[in-house]
């Protein structure tokens, strides 16, 4: 570097270094964003199930919940939630059953009814983006509690 500023060669080297750093960081950022979206969908489903159960208990009424994996939507009480369509959703009715994806058949919707005592009519599982760490479940009809692993 001379007293009047930087030479063209120094500027080119600096730009190349910055471009290399950016090229290395972009794939990690994209992967992080995708994972954050998958986790958000799982949390949205979990929150919806918990809200529906809470409504049933606090208002002493039954609340029907339906998750439509074909259309990426969730319905309960007077609430309709739209889930990201960039995420794959799969369902099953128990831990022994195989995962089933949206196919327009009978398996594209899962539903349960929460009763005023907090219990529910049936258990089911929803897996987000084929990730076993992102399985939202109602594993007990007696308690009706939903959870993520």
Closest CA to 118 of 57, 47, 62: 57
- pTM of this prediction exceeds 0.85: no
Separation of alpha carbons 31 and 126, rounded Å:
22
Residue 77 in tokens: 């009480």
Separation of alpha carbons 109 and 97, rounded Å:
15
- The burial of 146, by beta-carbon neighbours within 10 Å (0-12 exposed, 13-18 middle, 19 or more buried), is given as buried
- pLDDT tens-place string over residues 90-118: 888 888 888 887 554 555 788 889 999 99
Assign 38 to helix, strand or coil: helix
Domains and CATH numbers, the chain: 8-138 (3.55.40)
- pLDDT tens-place string over residues 35-77: 899 999 999 999 999 999 999 999 999 999 999 888 899 999 8
């Amino acid at each position: 570097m001379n007293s009047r500023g930087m030479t063209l060669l120094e500027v080119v080297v600096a730009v190349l270094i910055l471009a290399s750093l950016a090229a290395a960081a972009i794939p990690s950022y994209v992967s992080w964003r995708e994972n954050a979206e998958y986790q958000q969908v799982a949390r949205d489903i979990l929150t919806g199930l918990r809200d529906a159960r809470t409504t049933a208990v606090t208002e002493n009424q039954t609340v029907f919940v339906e998750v439509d994996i074909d259309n990426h939507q969730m319905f309960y009480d007077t609430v309709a939630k739209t889930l990201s369509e960039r995420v794959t959703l799969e369902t099953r009715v128990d831990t022994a059953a195989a995962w089933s994806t949206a196919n327009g058949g009978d398996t594209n919707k899962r539903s349960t009814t929460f009763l005023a005592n907090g219990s529910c009519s049936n258990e089911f599982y929803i897996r987000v983006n084929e990730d076993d760490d992102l399985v939202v479940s109602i594993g007990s009809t007696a308690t009706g509690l939903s959870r993520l692993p």
